[in-house]
Amino acid sequence: MSRRRGVVAVLALSATACAGPESWLEPVGRSAVTTSTVWWILFWMGLAVYVAAMVTAAVAVVRSRRNAPVDTADGTEPAVSRRLVIYGGIALPVVVLLVLNVLTVPLSARVSDRPGTDGDELVVEVVAEQFWWRINYPQHGVITANEIHIPTGEPVHVRITSTDVIHSFWVPKLAGKIDATPGHTTELVLETDEAGRYRGRCTEFCGLAHAQMIVHVIAEEPDDFDVWLHEQARPQEVPTEDRIVRGREVFLSSSCVYCHTVDGHNAANAIGPDLTHLASRGTIAGGILANNRGNLGGWIVDPQAQKPGNLMPGTQIAGEELDLLIDYLMSLE
């Protein structure tokens, strides 16, 4: 590849990062819109300064070729260059930096202010774990994983922490990045008027499956959100249908219950994601797999093949038992 083609390829590749599901250049969240406004101001000002500097340099080169060096007879600097230093080197930067400050400092302050802390704002607790996200709605007794539902048009207070190592939470279209640190809670406000599904990820290297630690924020109309919340808070009924009853028996009599909870049975431990409403999630395994029969089966039999390094071991369950188990899991609406 010629050098020019190489340069074009690199530029084209980096341009692909400007769009797509995780582009903060296409913000829809209140905080992300502010961040990107600040970025665009800095970008255009930076570009203007860069162009001005390059033009000045070019002029200097052309002039120095044409003219002999300007030396004053008495050894003092020529007036032209002194003026250039005063205006170009002192006055101009002062003006540019002043304008930048006036424009961006108030905006930057708005990125992290927290509207609506009147005590009844919606709170979501996010616990980052190797290699998935535990999501709690403490005011409503709802526990889920990897998918955060929020109502549109309302600031949602997301409190973020970790149980093991440092992770970082970033949903670029909605808000800035924030660390998830063990023993410490950080807070972020998510707010958007646009319903949609927004993808984010862990952005602090946290171990082998770090790159497969995806989070989705699902912003929906307040009515839809309320329906979702209500459904999630509902305890799972004890099944009566034959296959589901038998699938539940497979689940309860195998190792799954050491790590997973489905409320309505007695397993109190929850090393892994809560499975009470598993079937209502769009994805599993840290947001990397669509939640369907095939993926569930593949995941249960050999989770390490799908997501090397994750903390769920494989199982020996196979054949009819596996079928029943998947039936049961898929019934957990």
Closest contact distance (angstroms) between CB of 165 and Cu ion is 7
Nearest to 229 by CA among 140, 331, 120, 332: 140
Q: Tokens 């808000």 map to which residue?
A: 175
* Contact residue for Cu ion among 213, 229, 300, 312 (CB under 5 A): 213
202 is in the binding site of which of ligand HEC, Cu ion, none (Cβ under 5 to 8 A by kind)?
Answer: Cu ion
* Contact residue for Cu ion among 127, 143, 188, 206 (CB under 5 A): 206
Determine whether 64 is exposed, middle or buried from the number of CB atoms within 10 Å of its CB (0-12, 13-18, 19+): exposed
State which of positions 198-257 bind ligand HEC (CB under 6 A).
Answer: 209, 254-256
Kindly state whether residue 261 participates in binding ligand HEC, applying the rule CB under 6 A. no
Closest contact distance (angstroms) between CB of 292 and Cu ion is 25
Q: Which residues contact 23 (CB under 8 A, 6 or more apart)?
A: 17, 172, 173
Cα–Cα distance for residue pair 141/126, rounded to 1 Å: 14
Pick between residue 24 and residue 133 the one whose CB is nearest to ligand HEC.
133
Closest contact distance (angstroms) between CB of 132 and Cu ion is 9
Pick between residue 146 and residue 232 the one whose CB is nearest to ligand HEC.
146
* Contact residue for ligand HEC among 7, 19, 90, 271 (CB under 6 A): 271
**Does residue 217 sit in helix, strand or coil?**
strand
Cα–Cα distance for residue pair 311/297, rounded to 1 Å: 17
Kindly state whether residue 167 participates in binding Cu ion, applying the rule CB under 5 A. yes
Closest contact distance (angstroms) between CB of 162 and Cu ion is 8
167 is in the binding site of which of Cu ion, ligand HEC, none (Cβ under 5 to 8 A by kind)?
Answer: Cu ion
Cα–Cα distance for residue pair 43/46, rounded to 1 Å: 5
String of contacts with ligand HEC for each residue 138-167, x by CB under 6 A: -------xx---------------------
Which amino acid makes up residue 166? I
Nearest to 153 by CA among 61, 99, 222: 222
Kindly state whether residue 131 participates in binding ligand HEC, applying the rule CB under 6 A. yes
Cα–Cα distance for residue pair 228/211, rounded to 1 Å: 29
For 28, phi then psi, to 5°, come to -130, -10
Sites of contact with ligand HEC (CB under 6 A): 131-132, 145-146, 209, 254-256, 258-260, 271-273, 278, 281, 284-286, 296, 299-300, 307, 310-313, 315, 317, 325, 329
